[in-house]
Amino acid sequence: MRGFIASSIGVACAAALSLPFALSSGAGAATTPSAASALTAGAISGSTQSLPLTVLPRDRGLRAPGEQGLTQRDVHPFSLVGVIWDDPAAALEGSVQVRTRATGTARWSGWQEVETHNGDHAPDPGTAEHDSGRLRGATAPLWVGASDGVEVRVRPEAAQADRVAAPAGSAANSAAQAPLPKGLRLELVDPGHEPPPGGAPADAPRAGALTAESAAASAVNADLAPPGADVIPALSKKETESELIVARGGEAHAKAGPFIGPRPSIVTRKGWGADETLREANFGYTSKVKAVFVHHSVTGNNYSCSQAPSVIRGIYRYHVKSMGWRDIGYNFLVDKCGNIYEGRAGGVAKPVKGAHTLGFNTNSMGVAVLGTFSSSKPSAAAVQGLARLAAWKLGLYGGNPSGKTYLTSAGGNLYRKGESVRLNVISGHRDGFATECPGRLLYNKLGTARSTSASLQGR
């Protein structure tokens, strides 16, 4: 492969959208009532409403002491929701639930649980991304579909448990409540419109022109697809092997073989409609890809494959504007139909450093399967897509999908900083951090992914 291409093109900051009853995303600055037209104008590339939570009244003892939230209210349209707080190191010890109203109807959903997340996805300690001062604590995002009404409640965990042992409102109950993190805010994300056929945003210049930021994100894939391509095309195994041999300087490796799977089709960032002005301009790399960490996005399973680009745009905006990361955290995403999407910018064939597995973002890549798989099975197509991606990407770096490897921990809740850890080359997120991710039923499919991926490599 050719040398890495790093962009130094400056990023134009997207203008904050003002709302008469909201705050601009993550900034904490009050907005003015002048913004309705700005929201409409910005809907192509998306927007975020950021609403501070308040302590809810006890409501005849039905609510826990210290419970925060928002009562039912009308809001501008959104499709993805999450809760953030000021200190990224603070844990939210409690539950987060939301109800939403489908756009243009009077139909409210039931209460839906939002995964509290608590630091298991994050940039590694000591990195510029981690130490930027912009990070915030956050729940996982939840995809709820087109909505224009919301209600949220955040319940302290200790208060929930103590209600069983003490009457509501008693001194024992109140004293036992665990404090919630400071600065709780509800983030309502509008992912914007779908790109029209050809991938260009509806308001983009005609004749296939690219912005400087989009051109930079596309240029790092120039060896694989034309500039501005929506999709990196699939190659046969023979074509992929020939490409790898050329990249290695013509070494045939007749006995060992290239051991690489056929390159799968990959939807580029332009293809799923990434607003490249959101992310930081430069790209970050590690030295190689030794392992794949598999995640579930915990955004729920109530999406169609045609909606997957919208879900990804929502996650991207949430990671950057709400959580304070430099870009989307995952290197790749896979939907329920097995479609593969480019994640963090920097080039799909390159060892781009992500923010997916706290402590193990170096020399690894993170792949999120869109959905929640704690009690729902992932589709066979999604597992196959994961296996195809791993067979190709690991093959570029000599990785055996059914083998083991060593990674050095940067610090987390399972391994101390500097510890050398032996892991499966295809691991679940929970193998590197104490978390339920990627959900029990997806984790149980990793053996299938390993064997399929190794077979695709010709092992």
Q: How far is CA 157 from CA 46, 91, 139, 215, 247, in A?
A: 34, 11, 15, 47, 54
Stretch among 291-295, 405-409, 411-415 having the lowest mean pLDDT: 411-415
- Distance from C-alpha of 35 to C-alpha of 31, rounded to nearest angstrom: 8
pLDDT higher for 56 or 252?
56
In this structure, the strands spanning 291-296 and 426-428 are parallel
**Average pLDDT, integer, range 335-342:** 98
Q: How far apart are CA 380 and CA 335, in angstroms?
A: 11
Answer whether 78's CB lies under 8 Å from 189's CB: yes
Question: Judging by beta carbons within 10 Å of its beta carbon (0-12, 13-18, 19+), is residue 69 exposed, middle or buried?
Answer: buried
Domain 212-456 in CATH 3.40.80.10: yes
In this structure, are residues 382 and 336 in contact, taking their beta carbons and an 8 Å threshold? yes
Mean pLDDT of the residues in the chain: 83
What digits encode the pLDDT tens for the residues 88-126? 989 899 999 999 999 999 999 999 999 987 666 677 777
Higher pLDDT, 447 or 194: 447
Average pLDDT of the residues in 2-11: 33
The pTM (predicted TM-score) of the whole model is 0.84
Using the predicted structure, report yes or no on whether residue 305 has a pLDDT greater than 50: yes
Q: How far is CA 204 from the centre of its chain?
A: 25
Whole-number pLDDT of residue 247: 75
**Tokens 């919630």 — which residue?**
180
| Domain coordinates in residue numbering, the chain | 36-190, 212-456
Cα atoms found within 13 Å of the Cα of residue 210, Cβ hemisphere only: 21
In the predicted model, what is the mean pLDDT of residues 369-384? 97
Q: State mean pLDDT over 309-324.
A: 97
State the pLDDT confidence band at 383, using cuts at 50, 70 and 90: very high
